[in-house]
Amino acid sequence: MSTTLSSSEAGAAPMTPRAAATLIVLCGAIFLEGIDVAMLNIALPAIRADLNLTTTTLSGVVSAYVLGYAGFMLLGGRAADIFGKRRVFLCALAVFIAFSGLGGLATEGWMLLLARFVTGAASAFMTPAGLALVATNFPEGPQRNRAVTIYASTASAGFSLGLVLGGLLAAIDWRWVFFAPVILALLIFVAAIRLIADRPSRATRERFDIPGAVTLTAAMLLAVHGVTRLEHPDQNLAWTLGIFGVSAALWLAFFLIERLSAAPLVRFSIFRSGSLVRSNLGALLFAGSFFGFQFIATLYLQELLGWTPIETSIAMLVIGIDAVVAPILTPRLVDRFGNDRVIFAGFVLAAISYALLLGMELDWTYAAIFPSMLLLGLAFSIAYSPLTIAATDGIHEDEQGLAGGLVNTAFQFGAALGLSGASAIGAYVLGEATSAEARLLALQTALIVPVAAAVAGALITAMGIRRCRDLSCDQVMPS
């Protein structure tokens, strides 16, 4: 990445060397989060074999991270606004380093579960703080749009590269899947101390809403836990419904607490921004469609076509084209057509990509799958970054952390919902059948989840385009 990161074609002045270096550090942190998630997913079979984990515990290793991430995301975003974005970012990065290292040293399943839960919680504080630092270190307009585009593209590139690195490191020793992020995180931590600056916030004079924070975190944890239980049809349905019921009660309690609090964790006036609301719904649907698709595609390629994990990773690597295309193409498209129209195009491409796989067969070659992978990479290129931009555009600096926490919560919760929905539908259709034809039908039926999510996202975005023809929907009411 150039130290000037000139974006003259996107209408922005070149960044100063220090600003560019700061962006590189922040991009390094979100890249770290992306590869951490992807590498672990590829290494799961090796971890199971070495630690002799049950299927439930192995699934819990993934779910624990999601629980920690989604459960603490809004709390992390508000903490960044109140205690300082730089301070929260550095503290969360330090915790990430410590517990990722613990994961690499794990000798029992409970150690791995603890390490992943706390690592997810640390990411929940680090990610919104990092996005808020990007938003507050670059002026609103083309330069910030370009910075956020690069930042979001780096996250996607980290996930794509992690799919390949996870297979390579797991082939050596699965513990390197944990130790490699520790080494990268240490380098980022040292650079962040020297480079990252944060402007004082008026929010630092506020009290921290402890009752709201505890209630919200518990509600989020139970909601995500309930969603992850849907992946396993053998789970007690009454318990799952009970978990959702308690979560709903806590959400209601949180709403009442915030209405009465003098210093609420979430100021509901932030939802007066139509852009923020649409971007959060879009983020939930976009992530849900992609993670549902990835789950289906992985089972199809490995269990039905007989591909190895490395072959599967390389096949999906084309999705990472957004790391190259997005910084070049997306700012131009956003400047010319606006966020909503670009996001709409991304959803349409994603829907076509998923729909093309509805006709998958047991004798398909990669040539038949490649168009879907390429279209999905293009969809990421033009939708992911504008969704992130729209979530923070026009939001006051003192609530940038909250806005970042909201959109990242939407991404994470959408991922859990899409994965669980696809898994539950596939398992229901498959039933007790074991033939290849039955499994293929189950996967084809499960593809309805990503297709429906992408279509719904396109419709929501289209309504925003229609409403914004005569109104400035990105304008935010004062909090």
What is the Cα–Cα distance from 81 to 400, expressed in whole angstroms? 7
> Is the domain of 162 the same as that of 231?
no
pLDDT at 311 exceeding the cut of 70: yes
- Same domain? For 19 and 124 the reply is yes
Model confidence at 12, pLDDT cuts 50, 70, 90, reads low
Q: Which amino acid is at 183?
A: I
In-domain check, residue 3:
no
Cα–Cα dist 4/326, whole Å? 18
One DSSP character per residue, 405-459 reads HHHHHHHHHHHHHHHHHHHHHHHHHHTT--SHHHHHHHHHHHTHHHHHHHHHHHH
Give pLDDT, residue 379: 92
pLDDT digits (tens, 9 = 90+) for 393-413: 777 777 777 787 788 788 878
Mean pLDDT of 40-60: 76
The number of domains in the chain is: 3
Whose CA is closest to 292, among 116, 448, 61, 458?
A: 448
Examine the domain organization and report whether 174 and 217 are in the same domain.
no
Sign of CA dihedral 405, 134, 317, 381: positive
Q: What is the mean pLDDT of residues 228-255?
A: 85
Q: Which tokens sit at 25?
A: 């550090």
CATH number of the domain enclosing 23: 1.20.1250.20
- Which of residues 176, 198, 220 is at a domain's end? 198
Q: Same domain, yes or no, for 65 and 177?
A: yes
pLDDT tens digits along 259-309:
888 778 777 878 887 788 889 999 999 989 988 898 888 788 878 888 877
13: pLDDT confidence band, cut at 50, 70 and 90? low
Give the alpha-carbon dihedral of 379, 382, 383, 389, to 10 degrees: 160
Would 59 be classed as within a structural domain? Answer: yes
Looking at the structure, tell me whether residues 192 and 229 fall in a common domain: no
- Determine, yes or no, domain membership for 409: yes
In a domain, residue 5? The reply is no
- Whether residues 397 and 479 fall in one domain: yes
Whether the CA torsion 123, 126, 129, 131 is positive or negative: it is negative
d(CA 324, CA 330): 10
204 located within any domain: no
Q: Choose among 75, 398, 68, 66: nearest CA to 254.
A: 75
Chain center to CA of 328: 22
Q: Are 125 and 282 in contact (CB under 8 A)?
A: no
- How far apart (Å, rounded) are the C-alpha atoms in residues 70 and 411? 9
Examine the domain organization and report whether 191 and 224 are in the same domain. Answer: no
* Residue-range definition of the domain harbouring residue 439: 269-479
The verdict on 227 and 319 lying in the same domain is: no
pLDDT digits (tens, 9 = 90+) for 213-240: 788 888 877 887 787 777 676 678 888 8
Last residue of a domain, one of 142, 163, 198: 198
Mean pLDDT over 1-16 rounds to 48
- The string of pLDDT tens digits covering residues 356-375 is 999 999 989 999 999 999 99
Task: Residue 236: count other Cβ atoms within 10 Å of its Cβ.
Answer: 9
Domain stop point among 198, 219, 238: 198
pTM, 2 dp: 0.76
Based on the domain organization, do 295 and 423 belong to the same domain? yes
6 falls within a domain: no
